[in-house]
A and B are shown apart, each in its own frame.
Chain A
Amino acid sequence: MKINLKIWRQKNKDTKGSFKSYALDNVSTDMSFLEMLDVLNHDLIHKGEESVAFDHDCREGICGMCSLYINGRPHGPQQTTTCQLHMRSFKDGETIVIEPWRAKAFPVIRDLVVDRTAFDRIQQAGGYVSVNTGGVPDANEIAISKKIADEAFDSAACIGCGACVAACKNASAMLFVSAKVSQLALLPQGKPERKERVEKMVAQMDAEDFGACTNTGACEAECPKGISLTNIARMNREYFSAITTSYEIELKGGD
């Protein structure tokens, strides 16, 4: 099949970018989307042009590194990661527009590569249980109902790709942050720190210039791992409960 590509090219974070058009006429429907870009880059190098930079690693839909905004949707027309998208999802002769994630908190590094370290900093603010290696109880001393464990797993399945932010008109990171908050709020291991955790993670999220959540639900609709909007509701509850019943109030017996 033949396809036309309009791809965002940008030398680095300090220069202005623009769309460039390319045509590919030997695309197999069995190719993955990223393999199609490999072919484009191969052709570009042979023409003496610099290849298009894009992030990718496992190409199995689990590492969360690939991050392309394709025809106006994060990861393209299917609810999957870009690396799992195949060219049979497109029509012969179609023009495909490829952009990087667009969000103030994800500055462009080059072409289609963006800086997502804001996500790591949010996790560093409290996305953990404070246990050191060793000195922990036997694994089966903590019984957890299967229902709760399954629910926690659903939240923990987030791959941190940032599609939720890219899909959101406000570039909000609520789905990402709430997935971790939910996982640890559901499990008994996460309970002792649940109040500080949600407060700190939300504070960091705000400091990173992510937008506010207006419950539009685009994040859930585009999430390649089907992370549910319920997580956002749970995080809001956790947050309000934390700020209204802080430990100080609890210890002093209330105002």
Chain B
Amino acid sequence: MDTARVPIKKINRQMKLDSKIPEGPLAEKWTKHKFNLKLVNPANKRKFDVIVVGTGLAGASAAASLGELGYNVKAFCFQDSPRRAHSIAAQGGINAAKNYQNDGDSVYRLFYDTIKGGDYRAREGNVYRLAEVSVNIIDQCVAQGVPFAREYGGLLANRSFGGAQVSRTFYARGQTGQQLLLGAYSALNRQIANGKVTMYTRSEMLDVVLVDGKARGIVTRDLVTGKIESHAAHAVLICTGGYGNVFFLSTNAKGSNVTAAWRAHKKGALFGNPCYTQIHPTCIPVSGDHQSKLTLMSESLRNDGRVWVPKTARPGLKAKDAANIPEADRDYFLERKYPSFGNLVPRDVASRNAKQMCDEGRGVGSGLAVFLDFSDAIKRDGKKTIEAKYGNLFDMYQQITGDNPYEMPMMIYPAVHYTMGGLWVDYNLMTTVPGLYALGEANFSDHGANRLGASALMQGLADGYFVIPYTLGDYLAGLSPEKVTTDRPEFKEAIDKVNGTINKFLSIKGKRTVDEFHRELGLTMWEFCGMARNEEGLKGAKKKIQALKEAFWKDVNVLGGSQELNQELEKAMRVADFMELGELMVDDALNRSESCGGHFREESQTPDGEALRKDDEFAYVAAWEYKGENQQEVLHKETLVFENVKLTQRSYK
């Protein structure tokens, strides 16, 4: 389509986005870069203060590692303990190019799989570094006492995951995220005990403070007392995860939010590729209007389960009646359309096809579900074998739905799971604001338009353990170690603004709850900026979000006071940011009139309905600049340079 007609596509030529990817051959970039980075004298490290916001894999590993180096760290989380961060919920595993299985893995292969899996929308330099340090992560975690799965000989076990052709995934049963986070949490605890990290729990960051254009601190709210506090430092690290909860229903924890990242964006940090969202195909479907979150079932289920819907619409078909549908009347649509990959097509493809079946009216249950059937596998391998492989998942499914998947098919539907977009960062993980960094899912950097399974844990820990300890020093070495204090007018200004927002919310006294607005925002985002997007829908969604935002600020009802634990107020502040982010996601999806990875524009598909990239037009990172309340954000482009891989169209036929 003619993108020139899209009015939002303005380019501000003032700002040059410098990715700071080092020169030289791919395999030497990081090593050379590490040598070229400036160092902070060991005696001077104790003079520098660093703020880390968020204590998931990225935040906890960064705070611990920086404390070990000698910096003074202040770490913040909104939960009651750093151990609760949502990294804890990751199930499957963590990739690393160890090649312990002698099956042909290498740093280059992990790099290549990640670039290709991301549909060629990530930077080669970043992804190669990620693959390179992946091996160190496993060593580090084992040294901490993380109980990874092992073989009988005592060495580490691996499994293949997410369609990879090698076994490079390390795991701790179905609780890998938990074990890795508890490892990072233990390292963090050690630094807290040593006095190098001061931990602030039940504290939410509400603004970044800039002094002379540099990040110099943050403003937080103590969620127990309601006290607004300011904290000064030489650098600020945003490690606050993704923004999937903009959809209200997602597999994210209820508290996961975009607020820290969004406030950073409003203070000048560009936001990269906001429209890149990963929709996971195997989640438990919505059961009613009361639904508060969605539960993911590991995609390993697709190894043995067969996905199907009836050939002709059977509205309201229940799982217990599925056996009555004769074989000839069933459509195993993934096997039919993708004979070589079958039920194992990548996440984005599996999700889109399930949606398509339901759009045709062939969904089962509520109409927004497809069957995932294990009856053939049970017949073939026996119930015992299936139980050994998936017992915990089958139990979880039964606990939530009340249906027994050994006797009837599961019902599944895709759900929002991960966001590849985030704060734009350079190779040093610095945003466009000097001294302000973003790590883990909060940044946009390594997964392109689609993340591979078992790669989120890898990236969070790579950034925190092995990248930021080097790159932060380079920035700090150029600063005066003079103490930064909160007695600057910029801090007072930020505090006043936060107080103003809080007072505004408490004074609206409208008629609708925060959740009602959040649900409505979520429905709009899911319908028009979810698994499939088109120009008309996106344009309509933008208007809807704007109207909803206006209604929100007039009619939301936030009871209680500001000087106490007030969960409604916490939610209101987060939803306000989700509304603004939602609008930007729509802008970004509208601008990117190609399909790539998790972003499917209906206007850009191959004759047989597959995603069609337009590399000539869109091989760039879209980085958006905030321009003020209700102003159109401005697009900046960072052209992606591919020196090592050849761009090809993905095919799973």
Is A63 a contact of B253 with CB atoms below 8 Å? yes
Tell which of A107-115, A215-223, A227-235 binds the partner: A107-115
Question: Which of A1-9, A50-58, A247-255 is the contact stretch?
Answer: A50-58
**B153 at interface, CB cutoff 8 A:** yes
- Check if A183 is an interface residue, CB within 8 A of chain B: yes
- A65, B80: Cβ atoms closer than 8 Å: yes
Whether the Cβ atoms of B84 and A146 lie closer than 8 Å is no
B31 to chain A, nearest CB (A): 14
Cβ contact within 8 Å between A34 and B189? no
Contact present for B86 and A139 (CB under 8 Å):
no
Interface of A is mostly: loop
A146 in contact with B152 (CB, 8 Å): yes
Instruction: Please encode chain B, from 123 to 152, with 1 for each CB lying within 8 Å of some chain A CB and 0 for all others.
Output: 000000000000010111111110111111
Across the interface, which residues of A come within 8 angstroms of B399, CB to CB? 80, 84, 86
B175 with A157: CB separation less than 8 A: yes
Q: Report the minimal beta-carbon distance from B444 to chain A, rounded to whole angstroms.
A: 24
Cβ A123 vs Cβ B147 within 8 A: no
Contacts A84-B399, A115-B80 given; does A31 touch B290 at CB 8 Å: yes
With an 8 A cutoff between CB atoms, is A25 at the interface? no
Please tell me if A164 contacts chain B, counting CB pairs below 8 Å. no
Are the C-beta atoms of B83 and A38 separated by less than 8 Å? no
* Interface 1/0 per residue, A183-208 and B, CB below 8 Å: 11001011000000000000000000
Say whether B293 faces chain A, with CB atoms less than 8 Å apart. yes
B401 cross-chain contacts in A, Cβ below 8 A: 30
Given contacts A30-B287, A115-B80, A152-B147, contact A133 B465 (CB under 8 A): yes
Most B-side CB within 10 Å, residue of A55, A59, A150? A59
Task: Give Cα distance in the complex from A146 to B400, angstroms.
Answer: 32
The answer to whether A128 touches B290, judged by C-beta atoms less than 8 angstroms apart, is no
Q: Is B173 a contact of A153 with CB atoms below 8 Å? A: yes
CB <8 Å contact, B139 and A50: no
Q: Does A124 lie at the interface of the complex (its beta carbon under 8 Å from any beta carbon of B)?
A: yes
Interface residues of B in 185-220 (CB under 8 A from A): 185-187, 189-190, 192-193, 199, 201
Mark interface residues in B68-81 (1 if CB within 8 Å of A CB, else 0). Answer: 10000000000111
B474 at the interface (CB under 8 A from A): no
For residue B540, CB closer than 8 A to chain A, the reply is: no
Question: Is B172 a contact of A153 with CB atoms below 8 Å?
Answer: yes
- The residue in chain B whose Cβ has the minimal distance to the Cβ of A60 is B89
Residue of A nearest to B287 (CB): A30
Residue B178, interface by CB 8 Å: yes
Q: In the complex, what residues of B have CB within 8 A of residue A241's CB? A: none
Interface residues on A, range: 35 or more
Nearest Cβ on chain B to A2's Cβ, whole angstroms? 15
Residues on A with C-beta less than 8 A from B138 are 139
- Residue B559 is within 8 A (CB to CB) of chain A in the complex: yes
Nearest Cβ in chain B — how far from A105, in angstroms?
14
Does A129 contact B86, Cβ atoms closer than 8 Å? no
Closest-by-CB residue of A relative to B82 is A120
Contacts of A58 in B (CB 8 A): 84, 86, 88-89, 253-254
Taking the closest CB of chain B, its distance from the CB of A226, in whole angstroms, is 12
Q: Which residues of A contact B343 (CB under 8 A)?
A: none
Q: Mark A37-66, 1 if CB is under 8 A from B, else 0.
A: 011001001101111010111111111110
Residues of A within 8 A of B (CB): 11-12, 28-32, 34-36, 38-39, 42, 45-46, 48-51, 53, 55-65, 80, 84, 86, 88, 109-110, 113, 115-117, 119-120, 123-125, 127-134, 136-140, 142-146, 149-150, 152-153, 156-157, 159-160, 183-184, 187, 189-190
Known: A11-B564, A60-B253, A61-B396. 8 other contacts (CB 8 A): A30-B401, A31-B290, A84-B396, A120-B82, A140-B155, A143-B154, A153-B179, A156-B172
Q: Which 3 A/B pairs are nearest by Cβ-Cβ distance? A: A143-B154, A128-B186, A136-B143
Q: List 13 A-B contacts (CB under 8 A).
A: A30-B287, A35-B290, A45-B557, A62-B178, A63-B85, A80-B399, A113-B565, A116-B81, A128-B187, A133-B65, A152-B147, A156-B147, A184-B145
Binding site for A on B (CB under 8 A): 61, 64-65, 68, 79-86, 88-89, 98, 100, 136, 138-145, 147-156, 172-173, 175, 178-179, 182, 185-187, 189-190, 192-193, 199, 201, 224, 251, 253-255, 287-288, 290-293, 295-296, 396, 399-402, 465-466, 469, 513, 515-516, 557, 559-560, 564-565, 567-568
